[in-house]
Amino acid sequence: MLRLAMSVLWPSFLSAIMAEGFFFSFFDPADLMLIGGQSELPPIAAYTVGFFFFWAFCAIASMISLVLTRTEAPGQPPF
């Protein structure tokens, strides 16, 4: 189970780093706050929330890819 978790979480972690870097190089957290209304969050909190959002999204995508590409041998449990 640990191997399955790491095969999903590690690639999604690396993908989330890249996604956050690309996203926040184009958008400033202060500009995003103006779109959604006034917020008292500092920019570092926006970066943190954004990273965990990207990580969760990439983890879901990695898990779906793993499930769809996994082949089972006859007589073995699925995971």
The tens digit of pLDDT for each residue in 23-54 reads 999 988 877 766 556 667 788 888 999 999 99
In a domain, residue 47? The reply is: yes
Task: Pick the more confident residue, 71 or 7.
Answer: 7
In a domain, residue 54? The reply is: yes
In a domain, residue 2? The reply is: no
In a domain, residue 48? The reply is: yes
Task: Provide the pLDDT for residue 16.
Answer: 94
In a domain, residue 30? The reply is: yes
**What is the span of the domain harbouring residue 34?**
7-68
In a domain, residue 78? The reply is: no
In a domain, residue 32? The reply is: yes
What's the pLDDT band for 74 if we cut at 50, 70, 90? low
Task: Provide the pLDDT for residue 31.
Answer: 75
**Tokens representing 15?**
């993908």
CB atoms < 10 A from the CB of 12, how many? 21
C-alpha 69/C-alpha 18 separation (Å) is 24
Closest CA to 6 of 48, 52, 66: 66
In a domain, residue 1? The reply is: no
Cite the DSSP H helix spans in the chain. 2-26, 29-36, 43-69
Domains of the chain: total? 1
- Average pLDDT over every residue of 2-13: 87
* Amino acid code (one letter) for 31: D
